Structures are given as C-alpha cells and as structure tokens.
Amino acid sequence: MSSIPLFKCQINTDDIDFIGNILKNQNFIQQSTLSTFIRSYIDYNIQVDLSQSFEFPSIICCCSTVSVSLPKLLSLLKPKSSSTIDLIVLNQSSDHIDWNSLVNLISTYNLSLYIVNDEYDLLKKLYEIINKVAEHKIEKKSISLNHIHLNLQENIQERENVFYHVSKLTREKRAAALGQRGAFRGSTVWLTGLSGAGKSTIAFALEEYIVSKGLPAYCLDGDNIRCGLNKNLGFSDSDRFENIRRIAEVAKLFADAGLMCIVAFISPFEEDRASARKLHESSQIPFIEVFVNTPLSVCEQRDTKGLYQKARNGLLKNFTGIDAPYQAPVHPDVIVDTSIISIDRSLEMIIGKLAERHVLSPTLIIAVRELFMDEDMREKALDEFPKLDKLDITELDLQWIQVLSEGWATPLAGFMREVEYLQCLHFGCLMKGHVENQTIPIVLPCTTEDKERLKSSSKIALCYNEKFVAILKKPEFYEHRKEERCSRIFGTTNPEHPYIKMILESGDWLIGGDLEVLERIQWNDGLDQFRLTPNELRQHFREMKADTVFAFQLRNPIHNGHSLLMQTTRQLLIDRGFHNPVLLLHPLGGWTKEDDVPLPVRMAQHQAFLNEDKDDRLDRSRTVLAIFPSPMSYAGPTEVQWHAKARMCTGANFYIVGRDPAGLPHPSNKSKDLYDPTHGAKVLTMAPGLNQLQILPFKVAAYHRSLKTMAFYDPSKHDEFDFISGTRMRKIARNGEQPPDGFMVPAGWKVLANYYQSLAKESSDTMQN
C-alpha cells in the first residue's frame, strides 16, 4: 500500500517545499489531497502520496504540540504493526513537549522518535531518512537519488549562509515619502468567499476609492495572480495552500512598504487564512479579514465565468463549493453579503473597520456627513437658545449652511477653521489623514465688532431673518485676508467680478467652527421637493436599480444639443457594459449673478423639456431632476472641481463637463472670457482627490441647417452648422420670435420666451416711468 509522508514544520517552509519538489520530480510521489479533517489539525504541510509500487514508511515532521494533533493523525493513517513511522519532533526553547503523550504514542504505534533542536537539524534528519528509504528501493526502481543528496546539501548550505536583513528605514519615513504625513497605513484587507461572491468587485472598488483619497493601495486578485506569480499551481489542497502562502508573503511585503494591499482570493481553508493573519501580526501589520458571505445559490446563479456550470457537469474538478470544501471564517473582522447589501455599503463597513483599527482616518468613511440635530439635541438647543450669543447671517451664508448640513462638503463639520481654510486656499485639498478635494472655501465672515463681541463665546446661535438656524460650536476667529483669498481662488482681485465684489464687501474676520443645524433648510418657493440631499439621491438611485450614475450640471436652459449629449452618453455607458445608467440632471440652485436665468425659470423650463419631449431624448424613466444648493462663485477651473467633488457625494460615477462650466466674461473686457473655456475639463482629469469620478468630455453641438436639428459639430462641414449663442437666443426670445425647428422643445422655449419678454416689458415700463 502507499503511505503518506507528511512534512510539517512551523517555520522554514521553503526547505520543506524544496524536498517535496525533489520527490515529485523523481516520480516517487504524486500530489494528493488529505481529508479536510487532517488539514484542520495541521499548521503547515505538504502532502504527497508515494507511488503505488512502493511501501515507504510514513515520515512525520512536527512541532512539539503533538499531543492533540498527532493521535488523530495516526489513527487516520492506520499503520500496520510491521510499519515504522519516523517521527521528528522540533524541540525549541519556547516549546513545551508533553513527554507522557509522546511515550504513549511510541508504545501504541511503531514509532522511531527523533528530537531535534532547530529547523536546520530537522532538515538534516529529514534528508537522512528520505535518503535511507530511497537507497532501500533503488534496486526495484533503478533510480538514483544521488542528485537529491547533492541538491539537498546545497540547499542546506545556502540556507546556512542566508541572513534576514532588517531595514533601517522606519515605517514613519516610508509613510512620509508616500505623502501620508507621518501616519503609516500599510495593511492588508483579505477578502475571502466563494467564486462569484463579489470579492473582486469589492476589492477593486475599495482600491479605487482609497487611491482617490490620495492613499496608495494595490489589489491582488486571485485570477490575476494565477496568470503570473502562481501560474504553476493547480487546485489540489497542497497547491491551494501554496497559492495562499505565496500571496500572504507578497501582501505582507506590499503592506510593509506602506501600501494598503487588498487581497481577493477564495482562500477556502481556515488554517491558510490563519497563517496569513499570523504572518502579518507577527510584523505588527494590520490584517483585516472580510468574509464575503454571499450564499452559494446566489453565486451559482450569477456564474459570470460559467465555472459553476462546468463543475456541475463534471468538466471542472476540485471546484470550491461544489466538489471541494469551503471553510467559512470563524471570527472574520467584517461580514458582507452582496446579495442583500450594495457594494457602497460593503465599502462603508470595511472602511469603518479600518478606521476602528486606526489604519484610516474616520473622515475617510464613505457615509455622507450630515450636520442636522436629532430630536433630543433640537429640544435642548431650543431651550438653550435664549441664553446664547447670536449672530445674524446673510442669505449667502444660509445657502452655505444648507450645503454643509446636507453633506455636500463632506467631511467638513462646519465652516472652515483656519487650518482647513489654508489647505483649501493653497493646496485645493483638505489633508486630514488623506487628500479630499476642496477648492472653494466655505467660510463665515463677520465684522470686527461681532468678533469682539463673540470672541469669548463657546457657542454662537446663527440666525437668519430673526429665525434660529444653527449653533456654531467652539468658534475660531481668524483674519479675512480678502485680496489673498480672491487672487488664490479667482486669479484676480477685480472688484467688478460679482462674487469678488461680495467678498470685498464682507467682514474682516472669518469664524470657523462645528455646525449643528436645527432642521432642513426650506426656501418655500415651490422647489423644495427638488432639493434632494446626497443621501436621498443615493437612496433614489438604489430604488431605480442604477448600476451607474452620470451627472450633468447646468446653469442655463436645456436645448436639444444637451439632450443629444445626454442620449449619447447613456449609450456610451451601455456600450461599456452598464445595464441601467441613470442621469442626474443637476442645475445649480444657489446664488447666481443678476443676468443669469433665475432658478424658478430654469426649473420650469427643465420640467417642460422633460414632459414635452416627444422623442424622450433624456429618457424620463432614467433621469432624476434635482437642485444642487451651492452658490455660484464663477471661479472657473477652480470651482469646477468643487462641483465635481460635490456630485461624488451622491454616488455619481461619471461627470459631464461642458464648455466654460464656471466661467464668465472678463470683468474689464467683455469681449473675452476670464478663463479658458476648455480648462475646466482638462483640470478635472488631473485634480487630486477626484480619481473616483470619471470625467466625460462635452462634445460641441450646433444647429444643423439641412437636418433641422442639433448635431455634433463636424469641422469639415462648418458651413452646414449654425452656432446659436446665448446672446442670440436671448434676443430671439425677447423679440417674441421662434428659434429654428429642432433647436429646443416648444414647451421649453415657451417658458424661456415668456421670461425674457417679461424682462423686456419691465425694462420698457421703467424707461417710461
């Protein structure tokens, strides 16, 4: 009968691998699978079956903790009374051998016992036994194992001369070199679960999110690794073990270098995962085990690679979950089930655990940070209000409070303190543990008189039109250097710029502090139903079963060129593999300059366009019309980044950038633009902290004279296109004329024409008076 030599050692596993490979190369052995029961009692093993033509005694190399595992193992092997089992016990100073158990085992089984003091002696003894067995069988097999002796001796000698070198470079220095500002974030997130559970989807989404925050991360995916590093491994138990052993070592190296290493492997055996954890923890590297506990029935239903069907048909052997076991983690750090929770929610849970383990800053947690009081806080605040110092705020301030309270500026907890303000002003980012794009300062100005009156207050009640709105806690006062702010954000200090004018007229001090907002800001203008918060939009998209969201901001009326762009973009995303792309049509709803079309008119025009578009170009069933509450700064490419970052809070994956999306004519020379119209889109492709959002270019559309519709501009047919500028459109509307057929939906044009004609009438009445 063939016997099973089991090579087992807690350390020096490379040498054990070496011996196993020698035996396999000499055709003395074949790979074998032991039962899951045996594996559960073994810390490390390479299992091999001897050829059927030999009757070798079993060889067991083990650590000293044999009193539990060895009796069960021997009872499974059931050696004949005439068989001899060579037992090598590694006795290190830290081990505690149960000698009574060993004596009982020797008397019960025919054991030859060898005690060795270190792994080098263990290896020599193992070689000695193997060589003796081999020599005994040479005559039958006519195979010389002399080169085994030589290779093994060479390997031992090589290992004698190999020493582990400890780097003198501290992890803090590595972190600083990676831009982590002294906080070492090297770690491994280990995702385990059945094929099709969602491991790779979560892993790559996590990698993308972490990198988008300016932190280094790398995903090691099971299929990808088997295409390279582990392409010589199959799916036997021993190869599965070696697969995981190698990847654990690689992950540890990545993490030690300061990266977050995200591992997505089935890794079916608890023992293998425990070894990976132990390897990391022995080097003080955080190890987060994530059990993607999606049911087998769901995984098999998905079967994106067709593997389950092959396994069921007998075409694929040793497939985990079908004819190979999967040992569920006993104590994972995180459990997610992608059949009942979204990928976003899975990421939130993982990032929450990483924050709990101090690998990531809590501010990196994906959840949108709303600043509303709960019911108990509200009651307490109302009772406290009469005793608080008060500060009256402007309508612009209230709009920024709405932005902050609804979470559009996550992770800001309130109006910027000086450190946040300086980071925003000089770097365009917040850098509290990670990089968060924030190019527009969100600040609260106040006068010198108010500063002197409030400087000793720990809490300030903010009031608008004598109504209590919010509490500003732990206020911090710092100088409002207006010229510096304007030159940094706008590239000019020209007082004719409408937002700069407001800055220059505002207070000489800024107040930073944490906000607690009494309740949702309501404007009671008939449009509050469209003012959906980021969390509400996320929920809405989930209910629509959107698999991706593309956002488009506009501050002008919609024409058929816009709808053509939206229609084309949706088809582009479908061609990329998405099944249900949803459009977020998101007009800006805060302060705008006087000559812009007011929000109520724009919203009426947008609704008319959606309702009356007979061709349903925007696909009403897959379009969400909502209002973005931010004021408009007209800061060009700087502001475009703020608009994009805010849409990320809604869960948008793609963002369409138009021509000059946040620009305006030069304040001193109306014949030219203040900012290059193309720079907004270019800057977004390079902006830090926006990697998670894919930027879609805005294709220029113009009116095609012969086709009588809006079409994408073709320079080679320039004469066939008519560019209808905003100035010309306003003139046509004001004069009560009709635009060319196919330029805009008639119902939408009617709203616009009525507005401009009312302005013309007001102007005429004023002149007459």
| Residue 652 counted as domain residue | yes
pLDDT tens for residues 655-690?
988 776 777 889 988 888 999 988 988 898 888 888
pLDDT of 156 reads 44
Per-residue pLDDT, 106: 62
Average pLDDT over every residue of 39-47: 31
Sheet with 709-712, side-by-side order of all strands: 709-712, 701-704, 721-722
Q: Which of 105-114, 137-146, 293-302, 370-379 has the lowest mean pLDDT?
A: 137-146
**Residue 613 shares a structural domain with residue 573:** yes
> Are residues 100 and 13 part of one domain?
yes
| Residues 11 and 69 reside in one and the same domain | yes
The answer to the question of residue 40 being in a domain is yes
Strands 467-479 and 459-464: antiparallel
Distance, in Å, from the CA atom of 595 to the CA atom of 361, rounded to the nearest integer, reads 44
The domain boundary residue, chosen from 105, 127, 160 = 160
**Inside any domain, residue 767:** no
Reported pTM: 0.64
Total domains, the chain = 4
Indicate if 33 and 143 belong to the same structural domain: yes
Residue where one domain finishes, among candidates 136, 160, 184: 160
Q: Which residues, at least 6 apart from 151, have a Cβ–Cβ distance to it below 8 Å?
A: 18, 22
Is 45 within the bounds of a domain?
yes
Predicted confidence at residue 38, as pLDDT, reads 26
pLDDT band at residue 297 using 50, 70 and 90 as cut-offs = very high
535 shares a domain with 454: no
Does the pLDDT value for residue 419 go beyond 60? Answer: yes
Lowest mean pLDDT among 398-402, 591-595, 765-769: 765-769
pLDDT at residue 46 greater than cutoff 50? no
Residue 640 sits in the same domain as residue 573: yes
What confidence score (pLDDT) does residue 190 get? 95
My answer on whether 232 and 204 are in the same domain is: yes
Kindly state whether residues 220 and 359 are assigned to the same domain: yes
Tens digit of each residue's pLDDT (9 = 90 or more) over 467-506: 999 999 999 999 999 999 999 999 999 999 999 999 999 9
The pLDDT of residue 51 is: 34
- The mean pLDDT of the chain is 79
Which residues form the domain of 419? 375-517
Place 137 in a pLDDT band, splitting at 50, 70 and 90: very low
Give the model's confidence band at 183: pLDDT under 50 very low, under 70 low, under 90 confident, else very high. Answer: low
End-to-end CA distance of the chain: 115
What average pLDDT does range 229-239 have in this prediction? 79
**Range among 207-211, 241-245, 247-251, 404-408 rated most confident:** 404-408
Catalytic residues: 267
Domain membership of residue 165 (yes or no) is no
Q: Contact 191/292 with Cβ under 8 angstroms?
A: yes
CATH number for the domain harbouring residue 230:
3.40.50.300
Choice between 293 and 119, residue whose per-residue pLDDT is larger: 293
Looking at the domain assignment, is residue 605 inside a domain?
yes
d(CA 493, CA 498): 11
Average pLDDT over residues 625-638: 96
Boundary residue ending a domain (314, 336, 364): 364
Instruction: Go through the chain and tell me how many residues it has.
Output: 769
CA distance 748 to 602: 9
CATH number at residue 491: 3.10.400.10
Is there a single domain that holds both residue 197 and residue 341? yes
Which pLDDT value is given to residue 578?
81
Q: Which of 44, 67, 34 is nearest to 271 (CA)?
A: 44
Q: At residue 461, does pLDDT exceed 90?
A: yes
Q: What gap in Å lies between CA 83 and CA 109, rounded to an integer?
A: 9
Task: Tell me the average pLDDT across 604-615.
Answer: 84
Same structural domain for residues 143 and 240? Answer: no
207 plus 321 within the same structural domain? yes
In a domain, 541, yes or no: yes
* DSSP per position, 258-319: TPEEEEE-----HHHHHHHHHHHHTTT--EEEEEE---HHHHHHH-TTSHHHHHHTTSS-S-
**Domain CATH number, residue 622:** 3.40.50.620
Helix (H, G, I), strand (E, B) or coil at 186: coil
Q: Are residues 453 and 556 in the same domain?
A: no
Is 509's pLDDT higher than 60?
yes
Q: What does the pLDDT average to over 135-162? A: 40
Q: Is residue 769 part of a domain?
A: no
Q: Which of 522, 525, 543, 544 is nearest to 533 (CA)?
A: 522
